[in-house]
Amino acid sequence: MLEAALRAEADGEPAALVTVIATEGSTPQKAGAKMLVYADGRIVGTIGGGCVEAEMTWRARQAIDQRRPQNASYDLTPDQAGEDGLVCGGRMQVFIEPVEGTPTLCLFGAGHVAQPLARLAKGAGFRVEVVDDRVKFANPDRFPDADLILVDDFPAAADRLTLGRNTYAVVVTRGHGGDAEALRTVLGRSLRFVGLLGSKPKLVHVVTALEEQGVPADELAQVRCPLGVEIGAVTPEEIAVSVLAEMIAVRRGVAPDDVRPMRMELPGRLKAPR
């Protein structure tokens, strides 16, 4: 079962690990029992079958969709215990954790913002892939930490990039034409994150061009632009921090609108500045 979890992680197949962490009374399994639940409802392992397993399978699929772990409890009543062949009812505490592999940042464009963003994202635990058609920009000297560097046009590079459910695509090309081509390459692939660096007028220009090319509106609505958390960023390094902050918020299940300064109340002269 644990090998299946590792395979799911390596293949990027959505799954969740369900672990019984505590029990009271008579229960079908005790603390430590595990099962792996796939997004389509398939199961490897067991936490005892019956109503509790059906309930936790549903919750696991919910955790996969929400990409968030959750704690759950289940009270097994005497009636349910009888149906499941148990002597009496009990309670189970369960921890459900989505299984996800290493997230991948695919940078379309290797300019001034891409360089610090690649470095910061690598430090934050992302696999980093960079593609640009200019070898003087897309090279190991400028991106020493990148896992993959491709010098090619975006559509041709797509087959060699990691474009899956756990991919964060960030479009930072040198012009509107490149932006449109990169977005056309990644949209419709069910990526975790698609971002375009630029202003709202730029987004309107690019989206209009893609609409004329037949890209569906629901796919275009997935594009995040302007990109990044509002921190007053100006320099390429500051902009990279802002973009990575939004990526981390998505990774950890925090809505960008909920990102806010962390405050604490301090006594007297130690009051936090406003």
pLDDT tens digits along 149-160? 999 999 999 999
pLDDT of residue 256: 63
Total domains, the chain: 2
Does 59 share its domain with 126? no
Most confident among 38-42, 98-102, 130-134 (mean pLDDT): 130-134
Does 111 share its domain with 60? no
Does 167 share its domain with 74? no
Cis-peptide, bond into residue 226, ω within 30° of zero: yes
Strand, helix or coil for residue 258? helix
Q: Which residue has the tokens 């806010």?
A: 260
Among the listed ranges 46-50, 91-95, 218-222, 239-243, which one has the minimum average pLDDT value?
46-50
Report long-range pairs for 157-165 (Cβ below 8 Å, ≥24 apart).
157/131, 157/185, 158/185, 158/186, 161/106, 161/129, 161/131, 162/104, 162/106, 162/127, 162/129, 163/106, 163/189, 163/191, 164/12, 164/104, 164/189, 164/190, 164/191, 165/12, 165/14, 165/190, 165/191, 165/192
Assess if residue 205 is contained within a domain.
Answer: yes
Assess if residue 216 is contained within a domain.
Answer: yes
227 closest CA partner among 170, 179, 176, 166: 170
Assess if residue 264 is contained within a domain.
Answer: no
Determine the average pLDDT of the residues in 170-194. Answer: 94
pLDDT surpasses 80 at 82: no
Does 109 share its domain with 242? yes
Assess if residue 80 is contained within a domain.
Answer: yes
Phi/psi zone of residue 134: left (φ > 0), alpha (ψ -120 to 50 degrees), beta?
beta
pLDDT surpasses 80 at 255: no
Does 123 share its domain with 249? yes
Determine the average pLDDT of the residues in 168-197. Answer: 95
pLDDT surpasses 60 at 34: yes
pLDDT bucket at 146, cuts 50 / 70 / 90: very high
Helix (H) or strand (E) holding 98: strand 90-99
Assess if residue 50 is contained within a domain.
Answer: yes
With beta carbons less than 8 A apart as the criterion, state whether 99 and 61 touch.
no
pLDDT surpasses 80 at 46: yes
Assess if residue 68 is contained within a domain.
Answer: yes
Kindly report the average pLDDT of the chain as a whole number. 88
d(CA 229, CA 254): 12
- Mark which of 99, 117, 150 sits at the end of a domain: 99
Amino acid making up residue 114: A
With beta carbons less than 8 A apart as the criterion, state whether 239 and 197 touch.
yes
pLDDT of residue 101: 81
Determine the average pLDDT of the residues in 73-100. Answer: 73
pLDDT surpasses 90 at 264: no
pLDDT of residue 76: 78
pLDDT of residue 265: 61
With beta carbons less than 8 A apart as the criterion, state whether 184 and 208 touch.
no
Determine the average pLDDT of the residues in 58-75. Answer: 90
Does 119 share its domain with 197? yes
d(CA 92, CA 72): 8
pLDDT surpasses 80 at 59: yes
43-45 β-sheet, strand order: 43-45, 34-38, 15-25, 90-99, 70-76
Does 84 share its domain with 139? no
pLDDT bucket at 262, cuts 50 / 70 / 90: low
Does 151 share its domain with 203? yes
Does 85 share its domain with 210? no
pLDDT of residue 261: 66
Q: What percent of the chain has pLDDT over 90?
A: 65
Question: Other C-beta atoms within 10 Å of 114: how many?
Answer: 30
Question: Other C-beta atoms within 10 Å of 4: how many?
Answer: 19
Domain extent at residue 162: 104-257
d(CA 117, CA 60): 33
d(CA 214, CA 264): 50
With beta carbons less than 8 A apart as the criterion, state whether 51 and 37 touch.
no
The pTM for the full model equals: 0.78
pLDDT of residue 22: 93
pLDDT of residue 87: 47
